[in-house]
Amino acid sequence: MASGGDYDYYDYSPYDYNDQSAYVDSDQYGNNTTVSAVQSELAKLGYYHGSIDGVVGDETQAALARYQEDHDLSVTGTLTAATLQSLGLPRTAS
């Protein structure tokens, strides 16, 4: 078992792990490609007006909720299997 003394302070870079933008919600939704596809489809349908960036932020959640409400789906503001199916997008393995 490694002890705390085994840490190499010379390899430390505060800039490497502070940028967590690539990790936002990507585990919850499978991958950023799926989120981008959802954003793109919601944009085509007039629900989403943000950037197609693969990140589920406030705008994406609001667009999902509006779409779900309009299509008689459970309104969660999250990517559900039913929402993906309704959008005509394939489900991803979790």
**What confidence tens digit (pLDDT) does each residue in 51-90 have?**
999 999 999 999 999 999 999 999 999 999 999 999 999 8
12: pLDDT strictly greater than 70: no
- CATH class, range 26-87: mainly alpha
What secondary structure letter does DSSP report for 39? H
Domain ranges of the chain: 26-87
Whether the full predicted model's pTM is greater than 0.75, yes or no, is no
Query: Once rounded to an integer, what is the mean pLDDT over residues 4-24?
Result: 44
Query: Once rounded to an integer, what is the mean pLDDT over residues 41-53?
Result: 97
Q: At CA 4, angle to CA 7 and CA 18, rounded to 5?
A: 55
pLDDT attached to residue 48: 98
Unique residue bearing structure tokens 């197609």: 52
57-75 b/e (C-beta count within 10 Å ≥ 16 → b): eebbeebbbbbbeeeebee
Lowest mean pLDDT of 23-32, 35-44, 74-83, name the range. 23-32
